Amino acid sequence: MKKTAEKLIAFIKESPDAFHAAAAVSERLEEKGYQKLAEKDHWSLEAGKGYYVTRNESAVIAFRMPEKEITGYQIMASHSDSPAFKIKERPEMVIDGHYVKLNVEKYGGMLMAPWFDRPLSVSGRVMVKETTPDGRKKMVSKLVNIDRDLLLIPSLAIHMNREVNGGYNYNAQKDMLPLMSCGCEPGQFQKLVAEAAGVKEGDICAQELFLYSRSQGSIWGAEEEFISSGRLDDLQCAYAGLMGFLESGDHRLKEMDGSVYDTWQAGGVVPVYCMLDNEEVGSGTKQGAASTFLKDVLTRINLAAGGSEEEYLRALAGSFMVSADNAHALHPNYADKTDPTNHPFMNQGIVIKHSANQKYTTDAVSAAVYRSICEAAEVPVQDFFNRSDMPGGSTLGNIANTQTPMNTVDIGLPQLAMHSVYETAGVKDTEYLIRATTLFYLSNVAELLQ
């Protein structure tokens, strides 16, 4: 389990933003032989083969074609984005002719205080103008990661605000602008971006860049039971889902005997791995859960297999989705903030999330199915409810269901400090989710509901 946590840390280090996360997922899919598809091209899909498609370079959907007639889709969905600060156009701000800081805006609902006094840098993508050998102009996207300590948001000394420990309302436009340099010439930031992208500064036409923390992920605790890193929400679920998806493709079940595998053969089910973007800002983009991305991919799988519209709808009715987005663990200093009887702990297994107001999609049917899978995988399960007097957030499942309605369970892994720049979770729980996900992708949920 510690080795799995170390691999998760390595994956997160590769993924300082949603674009790099999608690239990291794509690289692992290609290493396993999955073929990349383009939405604008014709799809010719072969039974037994694996494929993946990206949208906006920040969302990825992968799937395997079954040997038998399609009977349903089994999907695990997570998201690639996390709260961060996005860098505005013309970001350099010169203060008193000396300091240079960058102009940024908030992306998503974040804890702002933890961003102070830690090394930061910049990553994302740029659009670059290139000339083809025949002289045509085209736009090319390039990933950018300025891989060094570049920025810092310094705190105001307590001598200048002695009431700060009594509570402070941070202003994103005033308090959260990162310091870059002291006395350098204007325009230095754009030069650094171009250098990191390996292009000429004048060839950059547009950019989407974000701050990220340079603090490295770590495993800690008296028995090395905790993992802390940026972007655990939701890359911990995205990574575990990917590993389970790939391992199920290899037809391996860790620490499970053959009888379990024989019981859960998948038949004509299409396993689908889904990492969407923009969950932290409502999912209402072309690459978010509210988009047609998942619907489009499932429809094209059906069409490529020769299925009719009725066959697609029948398959959808026999489908199941796991919406995987991390959950709040009981906080040791704020136990009163949790439900009195349903509060998860780190290292105690996967969390099934419930909400009477349908902020989570879990119902009795989907909870029973998922518990059965976890039981067969010998993985512990917990339940999460918000306190009845505290509203909670929503996630992917209920939004995705507006485009692809199917039985769905909302789950996550328990963590502390959600939406901080440095979050904490349990070392054991990533491996738990990989094991449950592997079995989920090898199962036929429709048979459980007959």
Would you say 149 and 119 are in contact if contact means Cβ atoms under 8 Å apart?
A: yes
pLDDT at 424: 98
The answer to whether residue 435 scores a pLDDT higher than 70 is yes
pLDDT band at 260 (very low <50, low <70, confident <90, very high): very low
pLDDT of residue 447: 78
- C-beta pairs of 187-192 under 8 Å, 24+ apart in sequence: 187/92, 188/92, 188/100, 189/91, 189/92, 189/100, 189/102, 192/122, 192/146, 192/150
* pLDDT value of residue 390: 86
pLDDT > 70: what percent of the chain? 96
List pLDDT tens digits, range 353-404.
Answer: 999 988 899 999 999 999 999 999 999 999 999 999 987 777 888 899 999 9
Please name which of 301, 299, 303, 277 lies closest in space to residue 290, comparing C-alpha atoms.
277
Q: Do β-strands 120-131 and 423-426 pair in parallel, antiparallel, or remain unpaired?
A: unpaired
Tokens representing 258 are 């053959």
Mean pLDDT rounded to a whole number for the chain:
92
- Plot region of 167 (φ>0 → left; ψ -120 to 50 → alpha; else → beta): left
Contact assessment for residue 289 and residue 78, using Cβ atoms and an 8 Å cutoff: no
Q: List, for residues 71-108, the tens digit of each pLDDT value.
A: 999 999 999 999 999 999 999 999 988 999 999 999 99
Q: What is the pLDDT of residue 266?
A: 53
- What is the mean pLDDT of the segment spanning 55-71? 94
pLDDT (tens digit per residue) in 405-428: 999 999 999 999 999 999 999 999
Domains of the chain: 2-82+230-448 (3.40.630.10), 84-213 (2.30.250.10)
Residues 144, 377: Cα–Cα separation, whole Å: 40
d(CA 318, CA 335): 40
pLDDT at 271 over 80: yes
Residues 195 and 144 sit within 8 Å (Cβ to Cβ): no
Using the predicted structure, report yes or no on whether residue 352 has a pLDDT greater than 70: yes
> Does pLDDT of 265 surpass 50?
no
For residues 116, 118, 119, 122, the Cα torsion angle rounded to the nearest 10 degrees is -40
For 132, other C-beta atoms within 10 Å of its C-beta total 8
Confidence of residue 251 (pLDDT cuts 50, 70, 90): low
pLDDT over 90 percentage in the chain: 86
pLDDT at position 353 is: 96
Mean pLDDT over 43-59 rounds to: 96
The reported pLDDT for the residue numbered 450 is 64
- Say what the pLDDT of residue 306 is: 93
Task: Report the length, in residues, of the chain.
Answer: 450
pLDDT at 250: 78
- Tell me the per-residue pLDDT of 297-322, one tens digit each, with 9 for 90 and over: 999 999 999 999 999 999 999 999 99
